[in-house]
Amino acid sequence: MVAQQIAFGVTAFAMAVGAVRVVTTKNVVHAALWLMLVLAGVAANFILLAAEFVAVVQVLVYIGAIVVLFLFGIMLTRAPIGRESNLDNSMRPLSLVVGLLIFGLLASVLAKQWGRVHLHTANVQRTSDVAQSIFTQYVVPFEAVSVVLLAALVGAVVIARRD
């Protein structure tokens, strides 16, 4: 329990720093790399919650595919690789207010509603339970998601194609 607490503290701190750096850094490539740190922290949190299959999918899909896709996007749109001063628009102070308000609102509601609720780590959801759930109760949404992915891939090729 203590080890879990320490692991959570370390990953949560890294993720908080990473998230702030993603939205404030002056370097686009560094933003993608900080995003990778946050995504790895999310995968670590899934492990802590005993959701090992989701953690592996997170690493494969997010860190393996999506971050690489982002780096390709940065290179193809020829963003300046070095520091750049005008990455933020003029609404920055207002956006900061909105972000802080959202966090304050969520934090107050969560503290009120889920103040001292403990997670029971004894009963773990196994990957076989997840598979059982996907292929019985949620098989229709699962097939719908695969069609959505196919449509999105074809759509992306059609949109980005030169003709």
Partner 1 sequence: MLLNEYLFLAAFLFAAGVYGVLARRNAVLVLMSVELILNAVNINLVAFGAFRNSAVGQVFALFVIAIAAAEVGVGLAIVLLIYRNRRSIDLSEVDVMRG
Taking residues 64 to 83 in sequence order and writing x for each that binds partner 1 by CB under 8 A, - otherwise, the string is -xx--xx-xxx-xxxx----
Of residues 82 and 86, the one with the C-beta less far from partner 1: 86
Candidates 6, 10, 81, 111; binder of partner 1 (CB under 8 A) is 111
Q: Which residue has the tokens 């560094």?
A: 30
Give CA separation, 130 vs 50, 53, 104, in Å: 12, 9, 34
The yes or no reply on residue 40 touching partner 1 (CB under 8 A) is no
Maximum C-alpha span of the chain: 59
Q: Rule CB under 8 A: choose which of 3, 85, 116, 163 binds partner 1.
A: 116
Decide: 85 and 26 in contact? Cβ < 8 Å. yes
Check binding of 17 to partner 1 (CB under 8 A). no
Measured CA to CA, the distance from residue 134 to residue 128 in angstroms comes to: 10
The CB-of-83 to partner 1 minimum distance in angstroms stands at 13
Q: Which of 63, 138, 143, 163 binds partner 1 (CB under 8 A)?
A: 138
Contact between 88 and partner 1 per CB under 8 A: yes
| 8 Å CB contact between 146 and 135 | no
